[in-house]
Amino acid sequence: MRLLTVKNLRKTFAQEKEAIHAVNGVSFHVDKGEIYGLIGLSGAGKSTLVRCLNLLERPDSGEIWFDGIDLAKQNEAVVREKRREMGMIFQHFNLFMRKTVEDNVAYPLRIAGRDRHASKKRVHELIDYIGLSKYARAYPAELSGGQKQRVAIARALALNPKLLLSDEATSALDPVNTELVLSMLRQVVKDFGIGIVLITHQMEVAKALCGRVAVMENGLIIEENNVETLFLSPKHAATRRLIRGVEDAFSLKHGETITTGNIYRLGFRRESVRRPLISYISREYNVDINILAGDINVLQTGDVGYLVVSFEDAGDEEGALKALRENGVELVPLTAEDAVNHL
């Protein structure tokens, strides 16, 4: 079931010198039960986009179809009502520090004027659900970052939203707490039958959680695909840069002097990840293959690996490429510059 359809959304900020097209014509949709990832480097426009989705920021143009209506066309009163159907969680939790855990979770129910008795029950169910019953009367300052984010999740769920918007919800957490929060989000989607728009600059997070992922750059979605395909054959340098992460085994700082041959990024599926395909191809087609970089990513669907290679003094390069394709390898040609900068 379709939860959200965004069409050609735009938001421009007028600055002194120039206009900033923070969101520059974005379209996508999110289904029930889906965790849709929006990933991009700092300044790509992710937060602006997500703030437009629940009209915290008024878009300049475009459509936001949610619950049968186009939110972008509604007045404040309708927007306020519909915003209750979209929970939101943030990087810095945004809890009320002077309120207890239970009062934080109760807050949206109180603002919406819900019955006190029913609210109390709901609050305790939710606190129980996030595993923090012992802390119901505690203040946020007494909680770890991961626990605070769980409280924020409970608060976001208080009004039974259909959609959860998550903007860098794990960016301020250590790896252990990140994992805890991610598995909670995964569980929430299952238990509450909602959808999530998950914004992150960490491919690791998208990898662990998302089905489909959109890559944003300069206010645009430049590439959208399921995670596995994105890892197998990323079309854009920005995507490759995000996939590569920071701790890749190889660095290509001097790549421009390494090779004069054609450079390819080879994406391997789980079956071929651990097969000695490269040495076979090299022997069979008489090509010298220089390995410039590589990594294996563990996805929920299985292992996906990549190698960046150049063909040196190639024998039958065409034949080799054809054989690679026939063995299920995804090929993306790279320029030397791409290879040096982004891989």
- Which C-beta is closer to Mg ion: that of 47 or that of 310? 47
Nearest distance from C-beta of residue 205 to Mg ion, angstroms? 14
Rounded (to 5) percent helix, strand, coil in the chain: 40, 30, 30
- Which C-beta is closer to Mg ion: that of 11 or that of 265? 11
| Tokens linked to 161 | 């939203």
Number of residues that bind Mg ion (CB under 5 A): 1
Which one of Mg ion, ligand ATP, none interacts with residue 45, CB within 5 to 8 A by kind? ligand ATP
User: Per-residue x/- marks for ligand ATP, 4-33, CB under 6 A?
Assistant: ---------x------x-x-----------
Strands 330-334 and 262-268: antiparallel
- Which C-beta is closer to ligand ATP: that of 11 or that of 162? 11
Which one of Mg ion, ligand ATP, none interacts with residue 13, CB within 5 to 8 A by kind? ligand ATP
The DSSP result for 191-239, as a single string, is: HH--EEEEEES-HHHHHHH-SEEEEEETTEEEEEEEHHHHHH---SHHH
Q: How many whole angstroms separate alpha carbon 300 and alpha carbon 236?
A: 23
Contact 88, 156 (CB under 8 A): yes
Which residues within the stretch 28-67 sit at the binding site for ligand ATP (CB under 6 A)? 40, 42-48
Q: How many whole angstroms separate alpha carbon 142 and alpha carbon 90?
A: 19
Contact 268, 227 (CB under 8 A): no
200 binds Mg ion (CB under 5 A): no
- Which C-beta is closer to ligand ATP: that of 102 or that of 223? 223
Which residues within the stretch 37-66 sit at the binding site for Mg ion (CB under 5 A)? 47
Nearest distance from C-beta of residue 91 to Mg ion, angstroms? 8
Task: Identify which of 46, 64, 342 has the alpha carbon closest to the alpha carbon of residue 198.
Answer: 46
Which residues within the stretch 182-241 sit at the binding site for ligand ATP (CB under 6 A)? 201
Nearest distance from C-beta of residue 46 to ligand ATP, angstroms? 3
Q: How many whole angstroms separate alpha carbon 179 and alpha carbon 274?
A: 27
| Tokens linked to 162 | 């259909």
Strand order in the sheet with 163-167: 86-90, 163-167, 195-200, 35-39, 212-217, 220-226
Number of residues that bind ligand ATP (CB under 6 A): 12
Strands 163-167 and 195-200: parallel
Nearest distance from C-beta of residue 54 to Mg ion, angstroms? 15
- Which C-beta is closer to ligand ATP: that of 242 or that of 321? 242
- Which C-beta is closer to Mg ion: that of 93 or that of 306? 93
Contact 307, 240 (CB under 8 A): no
Nearest distance from C-beta of residue 47 to ligand ATP, angstroms? 3
Which one of Mg ion, ligand ATP, none interacts with residue 239, CB within 5 to 8 A by kind? none
Residues that bind ligand ATP (CB under 6 A): 13, 20, 22, 40, 42-48, 201
Residues that bind Mg ion (CB under 5 A): 47
